[in-house]
Structure 1
Amino acid sequence: MNEEKTLQVRNLKKHFNLGKDRILKAVDGLNFDIYKGETFGLVGESGCGKSTAGRTIMNLYKRTDGQVLFNDKDVHHLSDEENFKLKRQMQMIFQDPYASLNPRSTVADIISEPMIIHKLYKTEKERMARVYELLEEVGLNRDHANRYPHEFSGGQRQRIGIARALALDPDLIIADEPISALDVSVQAQVVNLLERLQEDKGLTYLFIAHDLSMVQHISDRIGVMYLGHMVELTSSEQLYDKPLHPYTQALLSAIPIPDPDVEDSREQVIIEGEIPSPIDPPSGCVFRTRCPLAMEACAEVKPVWQEVEKDHFVACHLYNDDIEDKTPIKGQPNLITN
């Protein structure tokens, strides 16, 4: 792995003030690095804060606390000129290809707009040549340039969004659930496109998703989020071969396996209850109210983010040697064998 860090996230927090002394803690202390040329997957259930994290990293949301370093520069402490230049180096692919494109603009206008804002080309002819080139790169063609978004399928619209993100030749692309609104067959096409573009251009990705099977396919390393916190982080292979956190184990056990014999015999971890409100999160470990292995210490002490094995980080009292009594307060783990 390239040891050059493109992105460094340190204790990142994003809280929303809802009034009447209510604070929604959408992101509450994230720590991770993304290395140049890799794909870092960020996963978790809907509402865990992963999209908010992506937007805060992009500086679309002002952080509440913490630090985001992009190429060793703090993205939240830049001059207007530096922030303008940053937008060229960091781009975002949005979740909804239907809502992220201006319905009144042609494809050529959508893709060329960033070029005009950043004054990349002197003439319209040069810009259009680049538009045609980008359309070819994402699997479309120049005939699509004068059409409007409503004339395309969901997969084609997302390809247009990818072309727009590539228009400024960025170093880092934050892909915020770029395939969740697409059909399964189209999802694979878009993921394959992103992988090819990464190989051709040396791109670095932060890939945000809730589909762990697809994240495994595209990611080098994966971070698992729950209720604004990172609970586990390691390589894609290690996470799927040896998940440590009970939440990660539950998420992975829910992925269907296309082998009836394996599917029928494997153990499944069932998570009970609803996700707590980020306005009033549980004390100690935020996952304890749903965890089948929760112990008394989980309600009293916040788990320490620690490296349990080489490059395998987890926040869970099960791996804290200072905790002597690890008896689950609910009795035996809630494991169901089919």
Structure 2
Amino acid sequence: MSPHKTLEVKNLKKHFQMGKGKSLKAVDGVSFDLYKGETLGLVGESGCGKSTTGRTIMNLYTQTDGEVIYEGQNVHDLSEKEQFLLKRQMQMIFQDPYASLNPRSTVAEIILEPMEIHRLYASNKERMARVYELLEEVGLNRDHANRYPHEFSGGQRQRIGIARALALDPDIIIADEPISALDVSVQAQVVNLLERLQEEKGLTYLFIAHDLSMVQHISDRIGVMYLGHMVELTSSDRLYRQPLHPYTQALLSAIPIPDPDIEDQREQVIIEGEIPSPIDPPSGCVFRTRCPFAMDVCAEKAPVWQEVEHGRQVACHLYDDKVVDPSEREKHQQKMKVNVQ
């Protein structure tokens, strides 16, 4: 049986108007599918547009162009009432557990709020029973319900944020760097919690992060973003075993290996220079100004987002038969080989 496609993102764009006719192209034509029960990791350097992608899918930002299709319905074509009902199916865990919880509300009030807005359960007693149940599910208890966010550690606050996201029994959770603000010792606990909840509830995750090691651990597939564009998308195993795009190569070769013998011997792909401005991105391929394998064609036209192997997509002229002869491609691939394990 083929996997069920629950979310389709097609050519999604989010441009912020900056005045004087200029716009910041935070997300500029991103496409991917999300399958029921999977975790899709979204990675890239700070400022690449991954968090904006998640917020635009959630309709926290109004899209500039493109489509977000949930279970066959274009999210942005729905009526206000239909969009309100859809919010029960897609929830978000935010990056900063210190800023995403109302400091003037108790934990119970924070978790109750979405249930009250959507009028779930017949009485407040039933809602409170659900609050206690959610607290237990995320590793807290009912004694925590009447406390305020400032009384908790960062990891506990993020557990409260997870409980709030679960309050409406969603189908999809967009986790926007949910562990980046936490101590390293706590990060694994939160990731293990998310994995357990996924297994128990059949949740689908879009997991946005910049910690490549953690993304490898939790993700079934991984998408790599650069300057508002998706440059590579494939299974976690294949991406880490044989990355194709030069940017992916550079990211993975920068991961430290806890073995000095391997670390000293392995080759690294070095990218030089600063990330271009998304207000005035380079012509053609947006990565060409930092790419060690850039060709003349890279400045002339943008690479096509295409499937180069079954289940693997990449946007790079190196993998376009109309641009690069297969024999020349093999020479480039030999240069690009690097041990990332």
Paired residues, what number? 335
- Please state if 1:200 is matched with 2:200: yes
- Please state if 1:236 is matched with 2:240: no
The answer for the alignment partner of 1:159 in structure 2 is 159
Partner AA of 1:50 in structure 2: K
Q: 1:281 to 1:325 in 2, by over 3 A?
A: farther
Instruction: State the superposition RMSD in angstroms.
Output: 2.0
Partner AA of 2:246 in structure 1: P
Q: Say whether the 8 Å CA contact 1:40–1:222 is kept in structure 2.
A: yes
Q: Distance in 2 between matches of 1:52 and 1:287?
A: 19
The answer for the alignment partner of 2:6 in structure 1 is 6
Q: Distance in 2 between matches of 1:126 and 1:258?
A: 50
Partner AA of 1:34 in structure 2: L
Structure 1 unaligned regions, length at least 5: none
Q: Say whether the 8 Å CA contact 1:94–1:178 is kept in structure 2.
A: yes
TM-score by length of 2: 0.95
Q: Say whether the 8 Å CA contact 1:28–1:228 is kept in structure 2.
A: yes
Q: Distance in 2 between matches of 1:162 and 1:172?
A: 13
Q: Say whether the 8 Å CA contact 1:174–1:207 is kept in structure 2.
A: yes
The answer for the alignment partner of 1:41 in structure 2 is 41
1:21-36 paired onto structure 2 within 5 Å: 21-36=21-36
Q: Distance in 2 between matches of 1:334 and 1:102?
A: 52
Partner AA of 1:111 in structure 2: I
- Residue 2 of structure 1: CA displacement? 5.3
TM-score by length of 1: 0.96
Q: Say whether the 8 Å CA contact 1:231–1:314 is kept in structure 2.
A: yes
The answer for the alignment partner of 2:171 in structure 1 is 171
The answer for the alignment partner of 1:247 in structure 2 is 247
Partner AA of 2:106 in structure 1: T
The answer for the alignment partner of 1:16 in structure 2 is 16
User: Once the two structures are aligned, what percentage of the paired residues are identical?
Assistant: 81
Q: Say whether the 8 Å CA contact 1:16–1:23 is kept in structure 2.
A: yes
Q: Distance in 2 between matches of 1:306 and 1:115?
A: 42
Structure 2 unaligned regions, length at least 5: none
1:309-328 paired onto structure 2 within 5 Å: 309-324=309-324
The answer for the alignment partner of 1:143 in structure 2 is 143
1:43-62 paired onto structure 2 within 5 Å: 43-62=43-62
TM-superposition CA deviations, 1:234-293 (whole Å, max 9, x none): 000000001000000000011111111111111111110110000000001000000011
Q: Distance in 2 between matches of 1:174 and 1:187?
A: 17
Q: Distance in 2 between matches of 1:6 and 1:107?
A: 31
The DSSP-based 3-state class of the residue aligned with 2:77 is coil
List structure 1 runs of 4+ shifted beyond 4 angstroms: none
1:177-192 paired onto structure 2 within 5 Å: 177-192=177-192
Q: Distance in 1 between matches of 2:167 and 2:226?
A: 34
